[in-house]
Amino acid sequence: MEAVEISDEYIKLGQLLKLADMVSSGVEAKIVIQNGEVKVNGEVDTRRGRKIYPQDVVEYQNRQVTVIGE
């Protein structure tokens, strides 16, 4: 599992997908999230603006990323 460090309290799901290089653009993030292809903490979430906090785990295409704070 990979780790992505954020400096704020949280990051939005679409932004995290871009930051972790899981998608190439915000448009692609929107599409894969709305299609139900992204899981947050093991559950499908279709909200692009979902707040992701440290210790949350995001999964897309068999790749898992956990968020860590500073």
Determine the Cα–Cα distance for residues 32 and 24; give it in Å rounded to an integer. 11
Q: What pLDDT digit, counting tens, does each position of 8-37 carry?
A: 999 999 999 999 999 999 999 999 999 999
Hey, what are 6's tokens? 């954020």
- What is each CA distance from 57 to 1, 19, 29, 31, in whole angstroms? 9, 14, 16, 20
Which CATH code of 3.40.50.620, 3.10.290.10, 3.40.50.1100, 3.40.190.10 fits the domain covering 2-69? 3.10.290.10
User: pTM for the complete prediction?
Assistant: 0.92
The SS3 of residue 50 is coil
What's the pLDDT at 70?
78
Residue type, 14: G
21 CB-near residues (< 8 Å, 6+ apart): none
Q: Which helix (H) or strand (E) holds 60?
A: strand 57-60
